Amino acid sequence: MISAGVHSADPTGWLAAGLLAMLPTAGLQAQEVVDLPAEDRTVSADFKVVFRIGSAEAEAEWEQFTSIRHLGFDSAGNLRMLDAPGPEPGTRIVVVDATGRLVDEFGRHGGGPGEFGMPMSMVVWPDGATLVEDIIRMGYHIFDPAGDFDRLVREELGRNMRPARTGPRSLLGGSWDDPAGGRRPIIRYDLSSDEVDSRTLADAWSPRSTNEGRVVGATEVKDLVSSEWGFEPELLLDALPSGGIVFSDSTAYAIKVTDPSGEVSRVIRRPIQPMPVTEAIRRAERERRLEETRNRPVTTRGEPNPAALAMINSFLAAQTAEVENMRFFPEVPVIESLRATWEGTLWVQRSTEPGADEPGPIDLITPDGRYIGTLPRGRLAMPDAFGPDGLIAFIGTDELDVPVITVRRIPAAIR
């Protein structure tokens, strides 16, 4: 089992023996290990619906969403939603209050200040300020709490971005690179001034080099495509109200909690074993990825010229070849998703069998390691956004594939 950087034998030969020796001795001595019970204690997933907006039957024009990519709450309970159909007119940010009534709309498609080329993700800070990643503009738009454009930041801010709980314009993100060798840095970005200040807050374990398969200075399309791996342990992270962070970086049920300085102070574990990856699982996962690659939409602005079309086709062919030759980790990670509520409760969604349609069970745990209970398998997906006073939001679709946003409230007893 791959566990928090410590491994037992595995059949693939990529075992990194001796990782324990890489960890600081003082850090290990300072860590509290909390072992949770093996048996689930079921809690009800029947959360009250606060409001539901969207769908093909929506009467108000503002409620006719095209493609909700990301959303987030501010401290007043207002929900900001990124409605982004792609590199086309219609892109906007819609703001509703805690009852689902329209508050504001801002942002639009275009090439001017605060106008979107192709927005891909969004982060909402507690005061309502908003950051939107734009891959066409090669940067991040920052809007103030009133929705007015502030500036465009062109520095790379990492992946899996979360608003930090310290500083009015602070972000957490996992590094795209692996400069430390066997480590995935978790970085705090301070965007409170024109100069972006960044520093490594914690080092997560990396099962392999994230630069593997890439060629520095590559000009051939095939050299720009990353190697495909199945069931690689993701770096899952979120911010805590204390100013610390919580993260998972292995296939084991091992959740690491840090203090505000980034020092790991607690490891929370459950005796739940990862699922071995069999040949049947490998075949099914490879076919699923191939189908996903074949059906991936190609979005361009206008009619692509022959050279651009040839490059697109070459890129898709290289991706297909990588999937056909993909490699696999020996285990399916136990933890699929990890989030923290505004009150600090950890939501830990466990994996199901590869290819299963229903969401896995969600464990609710306090940061100090108290087990609250488990939402049963198939009853509730991991929320797409957490807000104050127990608000949670989900992105769904109706029978015509039109976005529907549902906001529920977590009961106070398990909040």
> Which tokens is 319 given?
């991706």
pLDDT per residue rounded down to tens, the chain (415 residues): 444 443 333 433 333 333 333 444 444 456 899 999 999 999 999 999 999 999 999 989 999 999 998 999 999 999 999 998 766 778 999 999 999 999 999 999 999 999 999 899 999 999 999 999 998 889 999 999 999 999 999 988 988 899 987 778 999 998 866 555 678 999 999 999 889 999 999 999 988 765 554 444 434 544 455 788 999 999 999 999 999 999 999 999 999 999 999 999 999 999 999 999 999 999 999 999 898 888 766 555 555 567 767 777 787 788 888 888 999 999 999 999 999 999 999 999 999 999 888 999 999 999 999 999 999 999 999 999 999 999 999 999 999 999 999 999 999 999 8
CA trace torsion 12, 14, 18, 19 (10° rounding): -120
CATH 2.120.10 fits 31-213+232-273+377-414, yes or no: yes
**Contact in structure between 249 and 184 (CB atoms under 8 Å):** yes
Do 256 and 4 form a contact (C-beta atoms < 8 A)? yes
Pair 229, 329: CB distance under 8 Å: yes
- Map out the domains of the chain as residue ranges: 31-213+232-273+377-414
Distance CA 56, CA 120 (A): 23
Instruction: Region of 243 please: left (phi>0), alpha (psi -120 to 50) or beta.
Output: left
Single pTM value for the model: 0.86
**Tokens (6 digits) for 51:** 């409001």
- In terms of Cβ atoms closer than 10 Å to its own Cβ (0-12, 13-18, 19+), residue 11 is exposed
